[in-house]
Chains A and B, each alone.
Chain A
Amino acid sequence: MATDLTSPLSATAETNVAITLTPPVARRSRPYVRHWRLMLAATVLVLIVLSAIFAPWLAPVDPDAMDLAAALQAPSHLHWFGTDPLGRDVLSRTLFGARMSLFIAFCAVFLAGVAGAAIGILSAYFGGWIDGMVMRAADIQYALPPVILAMVLIGIIGPNTSNVIIVITLTNWARFARVLRAEALSLSQRDFVLLARLAGASPWRIALRHLLPGVRDTFLVLLTLDIGLIIILESALSFLGLGVQPPTPSWGSMISDGRAYLENAWWISVMPGLMLMLTVLAANQLGDAFRELRYSAREVE
């Protein structure tokens, strides 16, 4: 019986539907990514965060306890990380420093992230002069180096911890705004957003219900990658005396203060430096693994 193909149009179109009968059920295909890398990075980061939270109990001695007689001692069984010029225990200060550095990093990253994301998504969705204004503001933030903006701001509002967080937020939101604006722009062209708009959803509803979840993955990747950068920015601020005010230690201020003793007491700077490197390593691995897991390697910067 000759196959009856009177009209290619109808036959082919319908056949396609018929043949691919299987509903596109996501088969249980394990994504080909090494899970342990994500696990390892996550555990290292959790360990560091826990050591920061439980610093008061973990620290062998009070971080501010001064003992001038025991100044500049090399790492020993008594002081695992050695002592600083005032005889304070570097290990205790590193643990409390972790508390301060991570606190600043997480707050600043979160604030910058949320602010940047909100600005990015809204400007992508509304477009027009709002978008223009936001992009100009982002240009300004990019054009002015973070340290200089920080100096002027701290000159105005003074150098305490909350101001350091505000300053870092104000100098880091633009990256989030730009990347997420691009994501939101491409998403808003997609059908499901058009459909939502047709269904009469309010702009806020669309932004929150549809655009936000869509950019969530990029947002999380940016968060993880930024943690290291922000701790280093805090260290640069400490170098200029604008970072965390003494005597509370932060990794950044410890690395910066220890630089005068690199010759005879290298452990003052190197120990917090190693902890910082470990944190950044874990955060970056988390970001990479997360990125490979969740979506194609889009351009992140």
Chain B
Amino acid sequence: MLMYMLKRIASALLTLLAMSALIFVMVRLVGDPAHLLMPPEATDADRALFRQQLGLSDPMPIQYARFLAGLVKGDFGNSFHFGVPALSIVLVRLGPSLTLTLAAMAAALLVGVPLGIASAVWKGRLVEHVMKCFSVAGQAAPPFFFALLMIRFFSVKLGWLPTSGYGGWRHLLLPVLALGWYSAAGLARLTQANLLKVLGSEYILVARLKGVPERHVVLGHALKNALLPIVTFAASQFGILIGGAVSIEAVFAWPGFGSMMVESINQLDFTVVQAAVIVSTLLFILINLAVDVLYAWLDPRIRYGH
């Protein structure tokens, strides 16, 4: 088990290194910040000086080496734009993003999984009907489209909820609904498919032969086995939600990760982009390791191996 985890951590570090190199090169290909952050009247000498101050004038490998050295110490350099450490900007935005993503993920799990279970157990009945509509509707239009409809409906017309802004649970409700619905749709369908597969297996028949009540057969024996792929799917959704909810963050004026990354890419604020990407990759790796641990805890075959 320990060996298994060590191997996973090693490969994760490799991923992190590869990601750092990738984003380091790609963001520098997008453009030259000197032309954006310096006024057009600036002379080439001014721009050269500007690049020199930001350490952009050195050859790439040296810049990358310095970047890696800083990475290890957690120093991502200062933002070209704000002049403050890039990491501080990323961390300011991490809180709201995590709140939104965790809430959306929780909502997706709380709605998607039970709906999936119900539509597997009562296949062909109304509940499967509702699930199909819910999941098709959820994945049939971009989240920002539903978000704007919901804002018009619940906030502007009925006045129950704030239209935007980062704050208490009332601010969280609509963004989570818009974001969560999309993931819940996927989860519901996946849960139903997996649960149906598991319910068809031999040990479920044996459980019934043992006289185990149907409720326990489904929630005890079957669900635990069906959970494994769902956990993986949820983890992959988590990664996408963290950085991908750009349109939702824009519509709800939510100071999240996605909009910050879009902003810093637009502003060619290399250090902030690099810090954001590394932090989101770290988060992604942590989530995957957590999923591996959960897998091992859930499935003894991994824990003790064959």
Q: Answer whether residue B31 sits at the interface, using C-beta atoms and an 8 A cutoff.
A: yes
CB < 8 Å neighbour of B193 from A136, A144, A152, A299: A299
A280 touches B250 (CB 8 A): no
How far apart are the CA atoms of A152 and B22 in the complex, in Å? Answer: 11
A152 and B27 contact, Cβ closer than 8 Å, known pairs A143-B239, A255-B142, A300-B193: yes
B141 touches A276 (CB 8 A): yes
A132 and B262 contact, Cβ closer than 8 Å, known pairs A143-B239, A262-B152, A280-B136: no
Q: Answer whether residue A14 sits at the interface, using C-beta atoms and an 8 A cutoff.
A: no
A297 and B265 contact, Cβ closer than 8 Å, known pairs A142-B284, A152-B30, A236-B142: no
A144 touches B190 (CB 8 A): no
Q: Answer whether residue A259 sits at the interface, using C-beta atoms and an 8 A cutoff.
A: yes
Q: Answer whether residue A239 sits at the interface, using C-beta atoms and an 8 A cutoff.
A: yes
Q: How near does chain B come to A143, taking the closest CB pair, in angstroms?
A: 4
Residue of B nearest to A233 (CB): B142
How far apart are the CA atoms of A193 and B149 in the complex, in Å? Answer: 53
How many residue-residue contacts, CB under 8 A, span A and B? 148
Q: Answer whether residue A139 sits at the interface, using C-beta atoms and an 8 A cutoff.
A: yes
B265 touches A144 (CB 8 A): no
B186 touches A301 (CB 8 A): yes
Q: Answer whether residue B19 sits at the interface, using C-beta atoms and an 8 A cutoff.
A: yes
Find the residue from B15, B239, B281 having the highest chain A CB count within 10 A.
B15
Find the residue from A135, A144, A259, A280 having the highest chain B CB count within 10 A.
A144
A136 and B145 contact, Cβ closer than 8 Å, known pairs A156-B29, A156-B30: no
| Interface of B, helix, strand, loop or mixed by DSSP | helix
A148 touches B144 (CB 8 A): no
Q: Answer whether residue A70 sits at the interface, using C-beta atoms and an 8 A cutoff.
A: no
In the complex, which residues of chain A have a beta carbon less than 8 angstroms from the beta carbon of B189? Answer: 288
In the complex, which residues of chain B have a beta carbon less than 8 angstroms from the beta carbon of A156? Answer: 26, 29-30
B145 touches A146 (CB 8 A): no
A140 and B15 contact, Cβ closer than 8 Å, known pairs A255-B145, A263-B152, A301-B190: yes
B236 touches A145 (CB 8 A): no
B246 touches A147 (CB 8 A): yes
Given contacts A280-B139, A299-B193, 19 further A-B contacts (CB under 8 A): A136-B18, A137-B18, A144-B243, A145-B242, A145-B261, A146-B240, A147-B262, A148-B265, A151-B266, A156-B26, A156-B29, A228-B140, A236-B144, A236-B244, A239-B247, A240-B262, A269-B145, A276-B141, A284-B135
Binding site for A on B (CB under 8 A): 11-12, 14-15, 18-19, 22-23, 26-27, 29-31, 135-137, 139-142, 144-145, 148-149, 152, 186, 189-190, 193-194, 196-197, 200, 229, 232-233, 236, 239-240, 242-244, 246-247, 250, 258, 261-262, 265-266, 277, 280-281, 284-285, 288
A-B contact pairs, 26 of them (CB 8 A): A136-B14, A136-B15, A139-B12, A140-B15, A140-B22, A143-B19, A143-B239, A144-B243, A144-B281, A145-B240, A145-B280, A148-B277, A151-B265, A152-B26, A156-B29, A156-B30, A236-B144, A239-B142, A239-B247, A239-B250, A256-B142, A259-B145, A276-B141, A296-B197, A299-B229, A301-B190
